[in-house]
A = this chain, B = another copy of it.
C-alpha cells in the first residue's frame, strides 16, 4: 500500500503513477479509444455521413446509467476493501487484548511461556497474510508449530492459520487443567482466541468471492458497447472535438471499473492492497511489549510490490 498524506502536496504523489499497473492499462485503453475515435470521425466527416441531428442526449442517458451502475460497483468493491481493513485491525486488537490478559494471568517469571504465546500470535498474523496470498511459507514462522500438525500421508496440506489457532486453544486449556489459570481466566481469553479464526474466515470469504460473474461481464460488455458507439454519437454534433471528450469519458468510466476490480481483493501485493505484512509486524512488536518481553526492532523488509497503483 502506498502511504500518502491525503491533505497536501498530492501533485507530488502523481510521480507514483509512472509505474502503475492500472494506470498503464487505463492509459493504453484510453489511447486505443482515441485512435478509434479519430478513425470514426475521419470516416464520418470525409464520407459526409455527418448528420445534422443532435443526438448526444440519449448518449448522455446511457452515460448516466453506466455511471450509477459503476458507483454501485465501486461501493461494493470499496466495502470489501474496508471490511478487510477492519478485519486486520480487529486481528491486531484481539492479539493485543489477549496479550494483556495473558500478561496478567501468566506467572510473571515464566519468560518461556510468554515467549511461546507472543510468537504464536505473531505467527498467526504472518500465516494469515501468506494464506490470503495463496500459500504459507513455513520458514517465515518463528515457531515449530507445523511439526505438531502430523498431517497423515495422502491428506491435503493443512489450513495453517486454523492449525495455529488450534495449537493456541489447546495450550490455554492445558494451562487451565494444570491450574496455572482458572476458569475466569479462561473466560477472559476466549473472545480473543475465537476471534482469530473468525477474522481468518472472513478474509477468506472476501478473497474468494468477487462480485457475481454476471455483473462483472455485464458491466464490461456495457462499457465496451458504449465506448464503441460513443464516437458515432458525438461526432455529428461535436466534430473532431468529440475525440478528447470520448477519451475523457472512457478514462472516467473505465477507471472506475479497473480500480474497483483491483481493490475488490485487498489481500494481494498491489499498491492499494492492505499492508498485512506491516500489521503482522506491529502485532509482533506490540504483543512482545505487552507481555513484558524485549523487542528487537528487526527491520521488517517491505514486501516487493508486484504492481503499483
Contacts and interface: CB of A to CB of B under 8 A. Distances in A.
Contact of A238 (B55, B68, B217, B234): B55
Question: Among the interface residues A63, A212, A213, A286, which one has the most CB atoms of the partner chain B within 10 A?
Answer: A212
Count this chain's copies in the assembly: 5
Given A81-B212, A194-B97, A289-B162, A202 B259 contact: no
A188 interface: yes
A202 B249 CA distance: 38
Interface stretch (A34-42, A69-77, A109-117, A127-135): A69-77
A78 B78 contact: no
Contacts of A212: 1, 78, 81, 259, 263, 272
B105 A259 contact: no
B169 A100 contact: yes
Contacts of A55: 237-238, 241
A263 B214 contact: yes
Contacts of A24: none
Q: Is the interface of A mostly helix, strand, loop or mixed?
A: helix
A146 to B, nearest CB: 13
A296 interface: yes
A75 B79 CA distance: 12
A166 B239 contact: no
24 contacts: A7-B262, A13-B217, A57-B57, A62-B245, A62-B252, A68-B71, A69-B74, A71-B72, A78-B212, A92-B201, A97-B165, A103-B170, A104-B166, A104-B173, A159-B289, A162-B286, A162-B289, A166-B290, A176-B184, A184-B186, A212-B259, A214-B309, A217-B309, A222-B251
Contacts of A179: none
Given A56-B58, A100-B166, A202-B89, A213 B309 contact: yes
A142 interface: no
A166 B289 CA distance: 10
A102 B287 CA distance: 27
A261 interface: yes
A212 B252 CA distance: 17
Closest 9 CB pairs of A and B: A93-B201, A89-B205, A104-B173, A212-B272, A152-B294, A6-B210, A65-B67, A60-B61, A2-B213
Interface string A30-59: 000000000000000000000101111111
Nearest to A158: B289
A143 interface: no
